[in-house]
Amino acid sequence: MLNRLLKPSNSITKRLFTMMSEKVAVDQPKVAATLVGNVNKKESKKNKLQVSLKTPKGTKDWADTDMVIREAIFSTLSNLFKKHGGVTIDTPVFELKEILAGKYGEDSKLIYDLKDQGGEICSLRYDLTVPFARYVAMNNIQNIKRYHIAKVYRRDQPAMTKGRMREFYQCDFDVAGSYEIMVPDAEILSILVEGLTSLGINDFKIKLNHRKILDGIFQIAGVKDEDVRKISSAVDKLDKSPWEVVKKEITEEKGQSEETANKIGEYVKLNGSLKEVHDILSKDEAILANEKAMSGLSEIATLITYAEAFQIEDFISFDLSLARGLDYYTGLIYEAVTAASAPPTDASELKKKAKTDDDASAYVGVGSIAAGGRYDNLVNMFAEASGKKSTQIPCIGVSFGVERIFSLIKQRAVAAAAIKPTATQVFVMAFGGGKDWTGYLPERMKVAKQLWEAGIETEYVYKSKANPRKQFDAAEKSGCPLAVILGKEEYLENKLRVKRLGQEFAEDDGELVDADKIVEVVQQKLSEINQDGVNDVIRLLKGL
């Protein structure tokens, strides 16, 4: 290009042309590199990793005092399960899709499906019951009491402050095996009552029904067998919607007649104590003439006796509106509810006003905080489907919803505020000065080791010469109530100082004790600090 524009006519011009040509030749790579560099910078900026620092919808991180409370819930329930003879198992967080398919009725649409990985189509587990039944069938187990505490996943609309999430923990206890009618059922209900009361939840009711009675009612009303499960699913919404709305679904969406819906309505509005509703149904001619309903009613009569033996009858409400839409239930069904379970009375209006569908907390209730039922055919279904010998292993279980229970416990604001994020009970410190002061770090370690071996949660500052203020700040941050102090001169005399921490003890210098008695003294002090021998976490859980 430059050669065509410049035509040299003399030696000076030639020399100038040569110089310019050389410069362009030299600069062209620089220019090209600059241009490429600019493009690369733009591409680099364009391709730079950009993420939204948030958890996926319907999930959250747990930390600090929340984790202390949650771990206490897990510990309380697992100890309860062990007390009743439970052994624990663990199953994969995902199952083959065919294992989960067709077990959850209309709720099957909430299952999280995964992409094909190596020729297997899998889904995240929806609950812990179906994986348990698969485990029993796969291992030819004849009887087992098992508990399982693990996460499950549902692609539902979350209500985070109400403990309704897409990823959440369930704490399950199940009994598999052939036993006398209603014996394991009654103990499961007793575990349900004991579990909630041990967590300080006392104002709850166990809504209870029986699938055989409910199926009998549907037969009496004229519902075809193939329509029973979808009608159950509609009736199950009575805890959230009035009868008029449910009736409309039964007739318009589920294709049932007005007469059928009205007959169903006569029964599902019944509720009361076990004895009250049992007596009413025992005098109903249509019920007496229905084989299924009478079979269920006979089992309820047996349950009444056992519930009285376990002293749990006052917690139970026999409620014919409870349907539990899951397909695998065959007998007793139940769920525990509190005043917070129901949605607000103006839920429909609040839903209209909601600015986003990301969280339904404003217009839904907590829902049931524990639930379960009998599923006698699920294990056999898996056994037969896999070509194994037909084996009837009856099962019954209960599942505690940790997130929903946690949301209720957190409402005990004053007690919850007292919970500290660490379990630290004692902070070991050292005070001294002068050129020869080493900070007593190995000595602090030695005292901490003594306390650890005694099972006492203990910390110290990871620094040789830590000034007193920093040591007190670290102790305050941990929230521990007690300090063991190594004074420069006192320690040489085999003495340690034990001091209460907190603003109200700022003027208290503590007590000087013999170093060889430090474990005994600290244990005594901690016993005095924990009111009635109960720490803040237990006080919170028990609602004290």
As annotated, the binding site for L-histidine includes 127-129, 154, 170, 174, 324, 328-329
C-alpha to C-alpha distances, 129 to 104, 152, 372, 375, nearest whole angstrom: 11, 11, 9, 9
Q: Give the annotated binding-site residues.
A: 127-129, 154, 170, 174, 324, 328-329
Q: Rounded to an integer, what distance in angstroms lies between the CA atom of residue 511 and that of residue 308?
A: 54
Terminal CA-CA length for the chain: 92
H/E stretch holding 11: helix 11-47
**For residues 256 and 231, is the Cβ–Cβ distance under 8 A?**
yes
**For residues 283 and 297, is the Cβ–Cβ distance under 8 A?**
no
Sign of CA dihedral 508, 513, 518, 522: negative
C-alpha to C-alpha distances, 264 to 139, 278, 318, 381, nearest whole angstrom: 41, 17, 16, 30
DSSP H helices in 370-437: 378-385, 402-409, 413-417
538 Cβ contact list (under 8 Å, min separation 6): 72, 544
Phi, psi of 501 (to 5 degrees): -105, 155
Sign of CA dihedral 159, 348, 336, 261: negative
